[in-house]
Amino acid sequence: MKQVTINVEGMSCNHCVSSIEGALKNAGMSGKVDLDSKTVTVEYDEAKTTVEQIKETIEEQGYDIV
């Protein structure tokens, strides 16, 4: 498993946390949102997932990648 930390703009509350973490989970990844540092740390299998796909998954929820 690899790990990547992505800076994300627009996350402000627990709803944001659960929509992003839920979307990542549905896509087969394990994500952790940190509202204080405005980051999402994702563990993923590089054989199945690219960083681009992770970013798209977050953007599809309505958040901007910095």
Footprint on residues 3-42 left by Cu ion (CB under 5 A): 12-13, 15-16
Looking at beta carbons only, is 31 or 44 nearer to Cu ion?
Answer: 31
Looking at beta carbons only, is 51 or 65 nearer to Cu ion?
Answer: 65
**In angstroms, rounded to a whole number, what is the distance separating the alpha carbons of residues 59 and 54?**
9
Looking at beta carbons only, is 28 or 62 nearer to Cu ion?
Answer: 62
Task: Give buried/exposed letters for 30-40 (b at 16+ CB in 10 A, else e).
Answer: ebebeeeebbb
Task: Please give the single-letter amino acid code of residue 57.
Answer: T
The residue ranges that bind Cu ion (CB under 5 A) are 12-13, 15-16
